Structures are given as C-alpha cells and as structure tokens.
Amino acid sequence: MAINCNMDSQTTPLNYSIETENLNLWYGDFQALIDVNVKIPDGQITSLIGPSGCGKSTLLRCFNRVNERYGNVTTEGKIEVLGKNIYDSDVSLPELRKTVGMVFQRPNPLPISVYENILFGLRIHSPVGHLTRAESDQIVEEALTSVFLWDDLKDRLKVRATSLQLEQQQKLCIARLLPLKPRVILMDEPCSALDAKGTLAVEELMEVLAGKYTFLIVTHNMAQARRVSKECIFMFLGELIEHRETQALFQTPQHPKTADYVQMRYG
Amino acid sequence: MNILRKKSEANLPFSETVIETFIRLCGISSIIFVFGIFFFVFREGAGFLFNGLDLKEFLTSVEWQPTSLNNKRYGAFALIVGTFSVTVLAMCIAVPFGLGAAIFVSEFCSPKLRETFKIVIELLAAIPSVVWGFIGLTLMNQLIIVVFNAPIGLTMLNGGIMLALMSVPIIVSIAEDALKAVPDSYREAAEALGATRWQVVYRVLLPAAKNGLLAAVLLGAARSIGETMAVLMATGHSVNIPSGPLSWIRTLTATIAAELGEVARGDEHYQVLFIIGILLFTITFVVNLIADLVIKGIRQE
C-alpha cells in the first residue's frame, strides 16, 4: 500500500499541478504502472526515484502524453493537469504540451541555430509572421538569460545548437520551453549525460526557476533528489510505494522497500 | 598455443585463401568494368571527336542529318534539349509524388501498411522499361489524345510521365532512408514542444534530411537521363525543339538505340553516336558524383 503522508505537516492546503487517480498503463501486455495515485504540488521540485524499469519515466511521460508516440500503449484512470483531465476529448495535444514542457535524458536541441531553437515553440504555436524581429530578439535574450546562457552565447546565436557543449545544450533545452510560458516542466534524468559541473549548473538553474514552474524530475541519483527536491516519490515495479517530503523519505522511510532502496541495499 | 601469432604467420586453410581472393576480385571487378566501359566508348568515338567533328555545331545546331547523302549534319542540340526537357518534366511530376510518398511511408503510415508499400514500390522499380514504353505507346497515347484533344499522344508529356513513374521508386526509397536517418530524438523534442506531425515534418525533418532528399532527387534525375526504351517508344522520337509538353521530342539515349543498329561500324555516324554516349556518360557521371558528395555531406555532419 502506498504511503502518502507528506501533507500531514502542512498547515496551509497546497495546490496541485498534477493529480492522478488509479492510473494504470500497459505497454502491450506488460503493465508498467499499477494504480498510481499521486498529487504533485504547485511551484516546487518533486523528484521521482526508484530502480531501473520501475515506471518512473513512464509516469513522467504520461503527464504530457508523450507516451502515446510508442503506439501500443493503453492508459486507464484519470490524470488531471491544472485541474483538467488530459484524456478528455476536448484537450488539445499541442496546448497540453505547451503547458507541460519536457526535458529529456540526452540533450536534444534541434539541428537548427540556437536562436531558432528558442523560438521553435512559439513558431509552431502561432501564425506565420506573428513575431517581429525585435520581439524575437527580446524573447531569445530573456530565455537565454533565465538559464544563464546569454553571456556565453550572445555572440553565437547563429551557430547550430547541436554543436554546443552538452551542458549548454541541456540548458538550451530548458530555455526553449520558457517562451511558451509552461506551468509544469518534466525532467527525465536531465543530468545523466552531464559531468559533475554541468549537473550542478542544471540543479542550480532548477532551484532558481522553481516557484515560477512546477518541476517533476526523474533521477537515478539519490544525492541529486536530496539536493534539489522538496518532495520525493519512490516507485517500485510500477507501483508508487512512498511519497513524502524528501528529507523524511530518506531519513525515516516508512516502507521497507523504500528503506532498502535509499540505504542502497539494491538499485 | 599462441593466440597472438601474427596474421601472416597464421596458416589459413586453403579454402579461406581462395574465398578471400575471389571476393577481392569481385570488388575490384566493378572498378575495372566501369573504366573498361568508359575506355571502350571513348575509343570508338575519340577519332572523330578530335578529328573532324565540329564540336560547336554538335552542341548548338538542331540539324541532325547523319544519313543525308551530300549534306551530313551532326547537330545534337535538339537531342540535348529533348533529354533535358523530358527529364525536367519527369522530375516536376516525380519529385512531389516521390517525396510525398517517402514522407507518408516514413512518418505517417502504420508499420503494417509501410511493409506493403515498400513491397509495392519495389515492384514498381522492377517493371522493365520496355513495358513502360509499351504502356506509353498504347494507354497513355490514347489518354493524351482524349484528354488534351491532341493529334497524337506520343509526346514529351507522355515520355515525362513514364520517366516519372520509373524514377518515383528510386526517389521514394532513398528519400525514405534519409528521413529514417533523422534521429528520433528530434521528432520527440519537437512533439514534446507541441508540434503536430506535419509541423515536425516541415520544420524539423525536411531541413534535417535535406541533403539526403536532394540526393534522392538527383539519383532519380540520373535514372531519367539515362533511360532509353520508354522514351524511345513514348516521346514520338522526332528531332524537334519542343514548344510545350505536347510537342514530340527525341532524346540522346533513344537516338543511340534507334540508329546504332543501322550504321556501318567505324564510319562518322557510328562515331558520332559514341560521342553522344560519351556526353551521356559525362552527364550521368556528374549527376551521380554530385549526389555522392551530397550524401557524404550528410555523413560528416
């Protein structure tokens, strides 16, 4: 049985960006998520931990429906993002993905210039010729400034984004979400391709941006979960085992499987 | 036992040596054949090319009278124009269809449908060119007469459509490979930003695969330029500078095919036909070379 005791200590009621109810998901015959009930609070960083293949990434990928790319996926249950069930028929996929941005494990800037990468989202969501040159310039500068890349890249806006260093690429992937004014940013092991310095830089960036955005981060790195997240979710074999404040989950895990995992007896 | 024995010291079994030599010969033979063909064609035409042929007349005159008794003229300009015009027309038809089909097969259709499509497209590529010529001569001929109210249907349009149908399979298969070679992470990134499938295609895939797509078009064009039998049968085979798609034309390839059987070996006419061969060889070589360089361009990125 899942243990959800993170809210007990809260005096003021929290708002939730994402809520799921009895979420089940199958890849073909294989059930990857089993009755997941979770509430992700607004404007803070929540981390998802657990051993490989436990369904962390699958859960994350439900929230912008990017799972559906793989064809043989069946989803049951309810997922509400900002109070709206995202499987309702009147939900527009482009709008959902505009609201719920995603950062991937390997930095995946598009093979176009830095400048165009930042504007890509706006261009696909607005009519042709919608942006003036001055507006575009300003948007690019703002987005790059918020991820601390402006000083490094202001003279290299025309270079191909795929030629940047990995750390810069990953920051750029975060920056290109910002012009769309997302409410939630999903991160699927965003630092696993980066070195220690890059990891630290991305973590610092998340801390600065938290508050404005709700972050949900999948990580294999327990130290990272402890450093960045306020709440932490432990998953095991498709089930949500424990969801509590991060420090509490690591110091006094309630479920024996959580305890085994955070004390590194396996995983 | 000495695993680290050098390769030269190792006693390969006799069969290994034979097979290795045989495979090596197979590899080298393709190079020998290409140079051999080029050498042979060049040798047959070289005498007249360097001694006697008025190259300016050959390239600019429309008078092709190789069999005239007292006024022989070897002006291949109309043939060159014929080849290029029918190729351009064929590409105007084949490129949109070919690239469209490649995008559909690679991005939009279900895996099951994709397999069916690939088989059908391969079948299309396997139809012999004389069969295409036959269709052009009968079916398409009638169709053009009826639809355009033309006196005769054996025209540049007819040949262009036949060549387009023959180039489409090449364009589709190479363009599809080029689209498949675009890393899936690009599609995923664009879709996660809210791009629709069509936006993914024209904002991400087409720019990312543009070299491969260009190579597909060039190889399709090379196929069109070199094609003989279908154009011989479908275009009217009449020396003429075309004034529009309904004009009849004659191509370089068809001229060789139609006339080479009727000339005395070694005479001027015979040699001119080989010079046309050299010209064709050069054109397709250049097109293929450009396509190759373009493909290399992709790999280096």
Q: Which two tokens stand for residue A93?
A: 């996929």
CB contact under 8 A, B194 and A93: yes
The DSSP letter of residue B204 is: I
Show the domain range for B171: 73-300
Asked if pLDDT for residue A267 goes beyond 70, the answer is no
| pLDDT tens for each residue of A195-245 | 998 899 899 999 999 889 999 999 998 999 999 999 999 999 999 999 999
> 194-213 in B: which are within 8 Å (CB) of A?
194-196, 199, 203-204, 207-208
Q: For residue B33, is it within any domain?
A: no
Q: For residue B184, is it within any domain?
A: yes
Confidence at residue A10, expressed as pLDDT on a 0 to 100 scale: 45
CATH number for the domain spanning B160: value is 1.10.3720.10
- Chain B positions touching A111 (Cβ under 8 A) are 186, 207-208, 301
Average per-residue pLDDT for chain B: 90
Confidence at residue A69, expressed as pLDDT on a 0 to 100 scale: 84
Asked if pLDDT for residue B9 goes beyond 60, the answer is no
Confidence at residue B2, expressed as pLDDT on a 0 to 100 scale: 60
Share of chain A above pLDDT 70, in %: 94
C-alpha dihedral sign at B67, B72, B73, B76: positive
Asked if pLDDT for residue B110 goes beyond 50, the answer is yes
Question: What SS3 class is residue A155?
Answer: coil
DSSP per-residue string spanning A73-131? EEEEEEEEETTEETTSTT--HHHHHHHEEEE-SS----SSBHHHHHHHHHHHHS-TT-S
CB contact under 8 A, A98 and B193: yes
CB contact under 8 A, B193 and A96: no
Identify the residue whose tokens are 């360089």. Answer: B293
Which whole number is the average pLDDT over B15-26? 93
Domains annotated for chain A, with CATH where assigned, are 3-108+183-262 (3.40.50.300)
What's the ipTM? Answer: 0.86
- Chain B positions touching A110 (Cβ under 8 A) are 186, 189-190, 204, 208
Which whole number is the average pLDDT over B199-212? 92
Q: For residue B28, is it within any domain?
A: no
Confidence at residue A228, expressed as pLDDT on a 0 to 100 scale: 93
Confidence at residue A13, expressed as pLDDT on a 0 to 100 scale: 53
**Among residues A200, A114, A108, which one has the least CA distance to residue A149?**
A114
Total structural domains in chain B?
1
Which whole number is the average pLDDT over B183-194? 93
Q: Which two tokens stand for residue A109?
A: 């800037």
- Chain A positions touching B190 (Cβ under 8 A) are 110, 120, 124
